[in-house]
Amino acid sequence: MRRQEVVRQVRALGDIEILKSYFLLVWLDWRHLYDSALTEMCTSIREDFSGTGMGHHRGDLIERLDHTLGQLDRGPEYLKMRLKKHRPDLRLADTEIAKGQYRELKRVLLEVDREAMQTPTRTPSRFVILFDLFTSMDIYSGSRSTFMCSLPLPSP
Residue 147 shares a structural domain with residue 109: no
Q: Which residue has the higher pLDDT, 6 or 143?
A: 6
31 burial type by CB count under 10 A (0-12 exposed, 13-18 middle, 19+ buried)? middle
**Alpha helices for 13-151 (secondary structure H):** 16-27, 35-48, 55-72, 76-86, 92-118, 126-141, 145-149
Residue 72 shares a structural domain with residue 145: no
Residue 137 sits in which domain range?
Answer: 123-156
CA-based nearest residue to 48, from 39, 58, 38: 58
pTM of structure = 0.72
Spatial separation of the C-alpha atoms in residues 24 and 152, rounded to whole Å = 42
Residue 40 shares a structural domain with residue 75: yes
Instruction: Count up the domains in the chain and report the number.
Output: 2
Q: Could you tell me the end-to-end alpha-carbon distance of the chain, in angstroms, rounded to an integer? A: 44
Question: Average per-residue pLDDT in the chain?
Answer: 80
pLDDT band at 79 (very low <50, low <70, confident <90, very high): confident
CA-based nearest residue to 23, from 136, 127, 101: 101
pLDDT at 94: 86
